[in-house]
């Protein structure tokens, strides 16, 4: 190993570990249309990486006459149904990189704004012990883009944020991770991450290993400690 390993690698789930964003978008449109409204692809993109409670309030503003909790449960149920029918679409290289990190002895955490019941479903479908801790949307004291979910994960793992790498696919997620003090790697999917503050961007996780992550962390750690970003 050329570079020392980070103390932990923290993963977002939807859009980073698994490509479930199309499932969420497919669940959103009929929900709004059920109450006589319309829902565009552009509106859906603005919710990528946003906490579910904040998203639910946006649906209320769009005319969905349901409580915040009822909207969250409805969307989560619809996405979990899609997962059960169509399977979990892992992003290219994500599962392999997780396995490489675990083999190298790196602690890992899942930091997602999805509900724990959905996060647990995805984790259970990974064929090895992938995560030391899961911080889900119903665990976070405040949702992304606040730093709380990443700080909670670091506290649970007993690590300092600057000694970790956070992997994200959304502007809200990147803002959360950067604010926590982590070294942040953006892997875009649905939306551009240019100018979001990520310390670096990779087009894909395919063919990446623990050594690549260690090199990324070593390259950007000092800037993260100083509060700098790209």
Tens of pLDDT, residues 180-227:
999 999 999 988 999 999 999 999 999 999 999 999 999 998 776 666
Per CATH, the number for 21-86 is: 1.10.150.240
**How does residue 7 score in pLDDT terms, banded at 50, 70 and 90?**
very high
Q: What percent of the chain has pLDDT over 70?
A: 97
**How does residue 46 score in pLDDT terms, banded at 50, 70 and 90?**
confident
pLDDT at 34 over 90: yes
pLDDT at 228 over 60: no
The C-alpha angle 200, 178, 129, rounded to 5 degrees, equals 80
Mean pLDDT of 27-41: 94
Tens of pLDDT, residues 100-132:
999 999 999 999 999 999 999 999 989 999 999
Query: For residue 128, what are its two tokens?
Result: 């090895």
Looking only at the bridges linking them, the beta strands covering 8-11 and 133-135 are unpaired
Distances (CA, A) of 160 to 9, 34, 44, 108: 11, 46, 34, 13
Q: Hey, where are the domains in the chain?
A: 8-19+90-225, 21-86
Mean pLDDT of 1-11: 91
- Regarding the domain delimited by 8-19+90-225, which CATH topology (the fold level of the hierarchy) does it fall under? Rossmann fold (3.40.50)
**How does residue 32 score in pLDDT terms, banded at 50, 70 and 90?**
very high
For 56, what's the count of Cα atoms within 13 Å in the CB-facing half-sphere? Answer: 19
**How does residue 88 score in pLDDT terms, banded at 50, 70 and 90?**
confident
């Amino acid at each position: 190993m050329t570079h020392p390993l980070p103390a932990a690698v923290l993963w977002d789930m939807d859009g980073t570990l698994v490509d479930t964003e199309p499932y969420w978008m497919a669940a959103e449109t009929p929900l709004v249309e059920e109450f006589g409204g319309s829902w565009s692809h552009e509106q859906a993109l603005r919710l990528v990486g946003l906490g579910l409670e904040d998203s639910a309030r946006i649906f209320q503003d769009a005319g969905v006459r349901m409580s915040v909790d009822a909207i969250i449960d409805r969307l989560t149920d619809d996405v979990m149904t899609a997962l059960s029918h169509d399977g979990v679409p892992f992003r290219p290289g994500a599962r392999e990189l997780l396995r490489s990190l675990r083999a190298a002895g790196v602690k890992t955490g899942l930091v997602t704004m999805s509900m724990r019941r959905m996060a647990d479903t995805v984790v259970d479908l990974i064929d090895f012990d992938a995560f030391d801790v899961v911080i889900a949307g119903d665990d976070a004291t405040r949702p992304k883009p606040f730093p709380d979910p990443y700080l909670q994960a670091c506290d649970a793992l007993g690590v300092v944020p600057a000694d970790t790498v956070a992997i994200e696919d959304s502007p809200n997620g990147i803002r959360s991770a950067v604010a926590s003090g982590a070294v942040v790697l953006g892997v875009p999917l649905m939306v551009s991450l240019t100018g979001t503050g990520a310390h670096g961007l990779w087009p894909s996780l395919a063919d990446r290993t623990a050594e690549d992550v260690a090199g990324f962390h070593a390259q950007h750690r000092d800037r993260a400690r100083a509060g700098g970003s790209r």
